[in-house]
Amino acid sequence: MSAMDLQVLRSFQAVAQGLTVTEAAAEARVTQPALSRALRRLEEEVGAQLLQRVGRVLRPTPAGRVFKEYVDAVLDSYDQGRRAVAEAVDPDTGTVSLAFLHTLGTWLVPRLVTGFREEFPRVRFELYQHVENGLVQHLLDATADLVITSGDPGHPLITWRRLLVEPLWLAVPTGHRLAERRRVRLAEVAEEPFILLKPGYGLRSVTETLCRRAGFAPFVGFEGEEVHTLRGLVAAGLGVSLIPSSPDTAATPDFPIRYLEITDVRGARDIGVAWLSGRTLPPASRRFIDHALRVTAGVADGGW
């Protein structure tokens, strides 16, 4: 298969995923008419119409959707092969394609990446930050080799290994009735408004699960998209929230919050690394898994 044939397949893939022919042509550095002719020749070779016009854009036909699955697999195998050859020639290089839970981007992922690059400084990283529901799709779509997520995805095609246990603390404003306590039962705030991440975020489902185990369903006072936002709303006295990791328990002028240990339910979540079970990982990604497991092996429940 020539480089030109591969480019046509990449352009077909891009158009099938939503790019216009003009945008795909710009990516391929060819003219729009030239790409249109190439896509028509592809349809002739396959023997079926692969794209159809819907309004002002092209969308895959049923045959096109079937064909795209095989195109995705061909291009993924080719790209993996190129990476494997490059890393076989020079094993200290390569690229780690890593997607991770957005709440881990402030502490765990930077520490793992920094430590790994100290050992392998010529390895590159492609990083993708996402909510929980999108992480599995990164693996299934082969847009990432690895994901760091909370809890085992429970997918038959995915292998997951625990890295550490991340504690969850009940955050209350400093003027709260429980603020002078160090330990509380989650059930003690059953009647209070909770500040939660929006549906689809892993921390949202973990919070709802823990509240159910404590005997109540949380009353949603406010919703946000970042833990930083949750902390700000708690500091403003608008509710309570479960906050991940081990924060400094001393309040600051910007965040007058107290963090309390939960005693009636397990206030923690498992953090782990996952990959497609049947996919051969590039050497750099395999090394990163080993690195992540090694450096977190000594992390006790309750903090780094």
Q: What is the DSSP string of 163-184?
A: EEEEEEEEEEETTSTTTT-SEE
d(CA 138, CA 135): 5
Asked whether the beta carbons of 132 and 101 are under 8 A apart, the reply is yes
Please list, in sequence order, all residues whose beta carbon lies within 8 angstroms of the beta carbon of residue 188, skipping any fewer than 6 positions away. 178
Asked whether the beta carbons of 285 and 145 are under 8 A apart, the reply is yes
Q: Give the pair of three-digit tokens for residue 158.
A: 């995915």
d(CA 260, CA 243): 10
| CB neighbours of residue 304 within 10 Å | 14
Bridging pattern class, strands 146-150 and 94-101: parallel
Q: Which amino acid belongs to residue 25?
A: A
Q: What is the pLDDT of residue 254?
A: 67
pTM value is 0.66
Q: Which amino acid belongs to residue 253?
A: P
d(CA 42, CA 46): 6
Bridging pattern class, strands 146-150 and 257-262: unpaired
Residue 223, SS3 per DSSP:
strand
Q: What is the pLDDT of residue 300?
A: 47
Please list, in sequence order, all residues whose beta carbon lies within 8 angstroms of the beta carbon of residue 175, skipping any fewer than 6 positions away. 237, 256
d(CA 203, CA 196): 8
Q: What is the pLDDT of residue 148?
A: 94
Complete domains list, the chain, with CATH: 3-86 (1.10.10.10), 92-156+276-296 (3.40.190.10), 165-268 (3.40.190.10)
Q: What is the pLDDT of residue 303?
A: 47
| CB neighbours of residue 252 within 10 Å | 9
Bridging pattern class, strands 257-262 and 241-244: unpaired
d(CA 136, CA 155): 8
First to last CA, the chain: 49
Asked whether the beta carbons of 19 and 81 are under 8 A apart, the reply is no
Q: Which amino acid belongs to residue 75?
A: L
Average pLDDT, 10 consecutive residues per value, the chain (304 residues): 75 89 88 90 91 85 91 84 71 84 85 93 89 79 88 90 92 94 95 92 90 95 88 93 69 77 92 90 91 82 46
Which sign, positive or negative, has the C-alpha torsion 142, 145, 151, 154? positive
Backbone angles phi, psi at 124, to 5 degrees: -95, 160
Bridging pattern class, strands 241-244 and 158-173: antiparallel
Q: What is the pLDDT of residue 214?
A: 96
